Amino acid sequence: MGGKVGTGFTGKSLFYVAQQVPTSLAEMKNQKRPSLKPESRNPLVSAVSCKYGETMKVKVVVMPKAAVLDPQGNAVRNAMRHLGMPEVHSVRIGKYMEIEVDGENGELESRLHGLCRDLLSNPVIEDYELTKNEERR
Amino acid sequence: MKFAVIQFPGSNCDQDCIAAINGLDGLHAKYVWHKETSLDDFDAIVLPGGFAYGDYLRCGAIARFSPIMRAVISDARAGKLVLGTCNGFQILCEAGLLPGALVRNRSLRFVCDMVTTRVDVDDFPFTRSCPKGTLLRMPVAHGEGCFFADAETLRELNDNRQLTPAAALFPKPIPMVPLKTSPASVIASEISLASCLILIALPMRALAAQMVRRFSGR
């Protein structure tokens, strides 16, 4: 039963678990998921579920530009060579950020790009790459 | 003459600035919290050193969005005197008031030392009482003080004599400055933007007698 709760701790499945608790494994397997069409949902829960469904996960990688010396990367490269891997040619160190945003649309994404340029990276010394995670919560 | 010393959460040279400025005749300095929006009551602005917002993300990256920065930038463009030292330099670079950016020291070490700077421009408000060629010794203390700009910007700054590398002043290396390990990190950059004096060095600390005595042996 505990496992069932753990399969998806989202707004949608919380509602589902609260409504019908399976008593055996066989019953769990045979169970039909309730329809998630708007008319079949509890109105109180559906409002929340919609919001949870629209969380956008964004990954931003900020790297120093090729022309900018990366002393940290060089130090790590040297350490790797000393530790028995003389093949290491180059190490560059950047930043990786995971961002969660409520809602999902092109306008939000373009605003995110604006903040990537203004705050998350400095265009003089860094490049950024923004990737959208398609998986919904 | 009234000076505003901007306090960001994490500034730590603000008290040095206040003490240094108030110690000079005719100058008065006051703290201004970074949430303020106007600097109309002041004749000059000081952005002190330190670690504004803990240097999170990049040095000065979050501080540049503080409400006071809008007033700082518009007043600087209008010709008000602005002195940015250390972290203040980093904030002004992030704010786009100056070209280039400051990156990690090449040595990867925090440099805490004395550097020598040379006055190249004597018709400039901050250096008016120093004849051209005057050498000024002052402390530096920074981890991200390596000035970076693309080749064209650097050439432009050098041609206008707005950038004074400390290392270029002496034919032989000064023992106290680790020239070989981090040439660019000890550049005491002096970039003038009409009325803006930007240094990675901390001149206000040179006013404390015990600092000068300890480092210069005098």
pLDDT tens string A5-53: 444 444 444 444 444 555 566 666 665 555 555 555 554 544 444 445 5
Both A6 and A25 in one domain: the answer is: yes
Both A82 and A47 in one domain: the answer is: no
Put simply, the answer to whether A72 touches B108 (Cβ < 8 Å) is yes
Both A77 and A47 in one domain: the answer is: no
- Please give the residue of chain B at the shortest CA–CA distance from A122: B94
Number of Cβ atoms within 10 Å of the Cβ of A55: 16
For residue A68, give the nearest of B62, B99, B148 by CB distance.
B148
Which of A53, A68, A89 lies at the terminal end of a domain, its last residue?
A53
Instruction: Kindly report the pTM of this predicted structure.
Output: 0.72
Q: What domain count does chain A have? A: 2
A122 contacts on B by Cβ (under 8 Å): 58, 61, 94, 101
For residue B106, give the nearest of A71, A120, A124 by CB distance.
A71
Both A48 and A100 in one domain: the answer is: no
ipTM score of the complex?
0.71
Chain B, 110 to 139: residues with Cβ < 8 Å from chain A are none
The pLDDT of residue A24 is: 63
Both A105 and A122 in one domain: the answer is: yes
For residue A122, give the nearest of B65, B99, B101 by CB distance.
B101
pLDDT tens string A55-109: 888 999 999 999 888 989 999 999 999 999 999 999 999 999 999 988 877 888 8
Both A13 and A45 in one domain: the answer is: yes
Both A90 and A67 in one domain: the answer is: yes
Where helices occur in B106-183 by DSSP H, the ranges are 151-159
Number of inter-chain CB pairs under 8 A, A vs B: 35
Both A59 and A36 in one domain: the answer is: no
Both A35 and A87 in one domain: the answer is: no
Q: What is the DSSP letter of A116?
A: I
B93 contacts on A by Cβ (under 8 Å): 124
Distance CA B8, CA B16 (A): 14
Both A87 and A99 in one domain: the answer is: yes
Helix (H) or strand (E) holding A109: helix A106-115
Number of Cβ atoms within 10 Å of the Cβ of A3: 8
Which of A35, A53, A71 lies at the terminal end of a domain, its last residue?
A53
A67 contacts on B by Cβ (under 8 Å): 150
Both A16 and A76 in one domain: the answer is: no
The pLDDT of residue B142 is: 82
- In this model, does residue B135 exceed pLDDT 60? yes
Contact, B194 vs B162, CB < 8 A? no
The pLDDT of residue B121 is: 65
Paired tokens of A32 = 């039909």
CA distance A45 to chain B (A): 38
A71 contacts on B by Cβ (under 8 Å): 104-108
Strand partners, A58: A99, A132
Fold of B2-216: Rossmann fold (3.40.50)
Range of the domain at A120: 55-133
Contact, A6 vs A17, CB < 8 A? no
Sign of CA dihedral B154, A94, A120, A58: positive
Put simply, the answer to whether A64 touches B150 (Cβ < 8 Å) is no
pLDDT tens string B38-71: 999 999 999 999 999 999 999 999 999 999 999 9
Both A29 and A80 in one domain: the answer is: no
Q: How many residues does chain A have?
A: 137
Put simply, the answer to whether A124 touches B149 (Cβ < 8 Å) is yes
Question: Rg (Cα) of chain B, in Å, rounded?
Answer: 16
